[in-house]
Amino acid sequence: MEKRIVIGKVGAPHGIHGELRIQPLTDFVDRFEGLGEVMVGDELLHVESVKYHGQSILLKFREYPVREEAMKLTGRLLTVDRSEAAPLSEGEFYTFDIIGLSVFDLRGNKMGVVENVLRTGSNDVYAVRSEEGREILVPALKKVVKEIDLPGGRMLVEMMEEEEAEHAH
């Protein structure tokens, strides 16, 4: 499963011709445009049409031409092969790679594990859960996040409070 990445979730049917609302779970919403086939749950389906409809995307699958059939797909995740992940610029990471990283401060103390990536508009924020269960919010900024080591499963951060405390002396 780790070879596949989630790009959306099937919502309710739309209209009578088997179109389904898809909730996009990707930063690259236009990736649905060129989608030929996609795994929906554990079934490989062929995309017949793609329409953008407000915040959701309407997909129609060749294998499910009628509403009653298509309804069975509601709630399933859409996944594509990891090799089809939209390309990233240098220094960018996929959300699914960040979640689960262990977070350390510059002294090597483990702060916790990334549980979620929050979209704030200006920059992402990593929600880190400490072993005591406290939530620490880490802004995804170069001056805070010093290093992301995916193979090592680690993120190195320098939090601002520590910086301010050091400058006060």
Mean pLDDT of 144-157: 93
Q: How far apart are CA 41 and CA 48, in angstroms?
A: 18
pLDDT per residue over 75-96, tens digit each? 999 998 877 777 777 777 878 7
Name the pLDDT band for 10 (thresholds 50, 70, 90): very high
Percentage of the chain surpassing pLDDT 90? Answer: 54
* Closest C-alpha among 70, 89, 79 to residue 21: 70
Query: What are the structural domains, with CATH classification, of the chain?
Result: 4-83 (2.40.30.60), 95-162 (2.30.30.240)
Percentage of the chain surpassing pLDDT 70? Answer: 93
Q: Model's pTM, two decimal places?
A: 0.57
Predicted local distance difference test score (pLDDT) of residue 165: 40
* Number of Cβ within a 10 Å radius of residue 29: 14
Among 15-24, 78-87, 128-137, name the one with the lowest average pLDDT. 78-87
* Closest C-alpha among 104, 131, 105, 126 to residue 114: 126
Name the pLDDT band for 35 (thresholds 50, 70, 90): confident
Mean pLDDT of 34-59: 91
Report angle CA 151, 78, 122 to the nearest 5 degrees.
60
Beta bridge partners of 105: 157
* Closest C-alpha among 77, 67, 62 to residue 8: 77
Q: How far apart are CA 110 and CA 129, in angstroms?
A: 11
Predicted local distance difference test score (pLDDT) of residue 126: 92
* Closest C-alpha among 138, 150, 26 to residue 98: 150
